[in-house]
Structure 1
Amino acid sequence: MSSTEAVGGSPRYQLLDILRGVAILAMIVFHVAWDLYYFGYSPVDVTTEIGWVVFQKSILTSFLLLVGAGLVLAHGRGIRWQKFWRRFALIVAAALATTAGTYWMFPDYFVFFGVLHAIALFSLIGLAFLRLPPWLTATIGIVVIGANFAYNNTIFSSRELGWIGFWPTSPPTSDVVPIFPWLGTVLLGIAGMRLILASPLTDKLATIRSNEPVARGLAFIGRWSLPIYVLHQPLIIALLWGFSLIQPATLTPPVQSVSQGFVTSCQQSCLGTGSTAARCERYCGCALEQVDTSNMWDAVSATDPTAEQLASLNSVAKLCTAMVGTVP
């Protein structure tokens, strides 16, 4: 499809394809940085470094604004259901593949509701807002965003509820894009594009075109953003994994999984009580088995555990102490 071909009665704006292309390239840069840290080739934790965090949030914001804008261009004059469901199915399939792939590679941090999951759900919800007055859609979007900052509860920090939002600490995952606040960003994209199409800006937007190689390249990437997004991470990880076989990482050790971190912390605490290394190893192995079998990871990772969670952890401590006994 060319940059001037009609999409649901509206022209395809090259500028939006270019912006989408820039966003996908920026996302690749972020994922390369994350993978380098995970494999131990970089000391920079991009999930906590403020500059990288702002960079990642900016990329996600631009993606979701463009999702809203794209919905208006494709379906604003009437929902093209066949086209919508075909693309929806592709996104859902890609999202499920992402979940399966990350569960295989990072079982403690697998993606259960990431960017693709969010785009699928938000696109479906967004259809209900295409005919509403833009000011109302924008108001609802602002409320959705603001609600996430006005309220939070630790019960939403679990995988079961983390896709909703409202959590004070992120659920255990390498990527999560919850409804609150990110649906609000898509709604702002819908409202913004509705306002643009109703203004003289729409004519100017249609004239912004370039045949320069960089612009055409970015527009091409933007038009094929979905397959590029799906394929780039497996490719990067495969290249880094192959490189690690030739040149093992030396800067930092790989990021610990939740279970590895639990065992390390447990053994350090145990050794601090004066117990022997052998006894601590047995005790922490028992604790890991009990926590994993009973799926108590939410209690382990909670910054402010509830009385029920504390009682469960204390039960594990007593059980494992009794099972280890006085073995040196």
Structure 2
Amino acid sequence: MLKKRNPTLDLYRGLAVLLMMIFHFCWDLREFNHISYHLTDPFWVYFRSIILFLFLTAIGWSAYISKSQNCNQSQSNILKRFLMRQGKLLLAAVSISLITYITFPSQWIYFGILHFIFILSFIHYPFASLPIISASIGLFLFLIYQLTDWLLFPNIHYLITNDFGAPKYTLDIIYPFPWVTCIFIGPLIGKALSNVHLQTSLLTNLLSWLGQHALNIYLIHQLILYTAVKLTTDLLSHLN
């Protein structure tokens, strides 16, 4: 029996995909000197943060729906479906690492968003069907991160880059904290928005489609965008 999709979650995830493509398109334009900005500018920092928040809370929301919809199935079947999804995610994460290693060997992605989601999904899985408990754990971790220095990832980053030879500058890296909080509050957001339904329109149809194919779009969108910007740049240079 096929799992019934949640249209609100698809829209939510689709918004994240759309913003991600806009962010990366602007990055490509910057790489080819069509526009100029610093990635550390507040606007771009907050823009990226919004995208991460949407993606990561959508992961927690999706896990909540999956476990809730399959509550009548045996635990072994639920676990099997989860491991199959994790296998696809691991393959996608490894593919991103290999592609970026071949294309950008000095900046390859070794712990981007897919790697982060793969690991955190295992940690969050036992709490996915318990929105209040999950959100409480997320809030607790967030407070520990804000009030102490116990959870600082840069210490681990230093170890990885100096002892294991990973590049200090990478095209994408997700520090576990405070972003782990987003996955843990995802189930509560999903429960709160479970009865929300938006009127169908061209925009909602587009966002829904993006949300339904989020992983595939993530894997190929930058190849298309980067190539398009490069070819356009080359064409303009020849015309001039």
TM range (shorter): 0.7 to 0.9
Listed as ranges, the gaps of 5+ residues in structure 2 are: none
Shift of the 246–121 alpha-carbon distance from structure 1 to 2, 3 Å rule, reads same
- The CA distance in 2 between the partners of 1:33 and 1:52, in whole Å, is 10
- The CA distance in 2 between the partners of 1:245 and 1:212, in whole Å, is 37
Amino acid at match of 1:212: S
- The CA distance in 1 between the partners of 2:112 and 2:154, in whole Å, is 20
Query: What's the CA shift for 1:223?
Result: 0.7
- The CA distance in 2 between the partners of 1:128 and 1:122, in whole Å, is 11
Query: What's the CA shift for 1:171?
Result: 4.7
Alignment map for 1:175-190 (pairs within 5 Å) = 175-190=172-187
Contact 2:107/2:170, CA 8 A, preserved across alignment = yes
* Alignment match, 2:103: 105
Structure 2 residue 155 is the aligned partner of structure 1 residue 155 = yes
Question: Residue 59 of structure 1: which of 51, 69, 82 is its match?
Answer: 51
Q: 3-state DSSP class of the match of 2:173? A: coil
- The CA distance in 2 between the partners of 1:154 and 1:219, in whole Å, is 36
* Alignment match, 1:242: 231
Contact 1:159/1:172, CA 8 A, preserved across alignment = no
- The CA distance in 1 between the partners of 2:121 and 2:220, in whole Å, is 21
Structure 2 residue 1 is the aligned partner of structure 1 residue 19 = no
Structure 2 residue 33 is the aligned partner of structure 1 residue 33 = no
- The CA distance in 2 between the partners of 1:159 and 1:20, in whole Å, is 33
Structure 2 residue 92 is the aligned partner of structure 1 residue 94 = yes
Shift of the 144–172 alpha-carbon distance from structure 1 to 2, 3 Å rule, reads farther
- The CA distance in 2 between the partners of 1:215 and 1:153, in whole Å, is 37
Over aligned residues, Cα RMSD in angstroms?
2.7
Shift of the 148–37 alpha-carbon distance from structure 1 to 2, 3 Å rule, reads farther
Structure 2 residue 135 is the aligned partner of structure 1 residue 138 = yes
The Cα offsets for residues 232-280 of structure 1, whole Å up to 9 and x where unpaired, read as 01111222232333335xxxxxxxxxxxxxxxxxxxxxxxxxxxxxxxx
TM-score by length of 1: 0.62
Query: What's the CA shift for 1:55?
Result: 0.8
Larger radius of gyration: 1
Query: What's the CA shift for 1:131?
Result: 4.6
Percent of aligned positions with the same letter in both sequences? 26
Question: Residue 221 of structure 2: which of 229, 232, 248 is its match?
Answer: 232
- The CA distance in 2 between the partners of 1:156 and 1:190, in whole Å, is 28
Query: What's the CA shift for 1:154?
Result: 5.2
Listed as ranges, the gaps of 5+ residues in structure 1 are: 163-169, 249-328
TM-score by length of 2: 0.82
* Alignment match, 1:222: 211
The Cα offsets for residues 274-295 of structure 1, whole Å up to 9 and x where unpaired, read as xxxxxxxxxxxxxxxxxxxxxx
Shift of the 96–17 alpha-carbon distance from structure 1 to 2, 3 Å rule, reads same
Contact 2:60/2:187, CA 8 A, preserved across alignment = yes
Amino acid at match of 2:12: L
Taking CA–CA contacts closer than 8 Å with sequence separation of 6 or more, which of the two structures ends up with the larger relative contact order?
A: 2
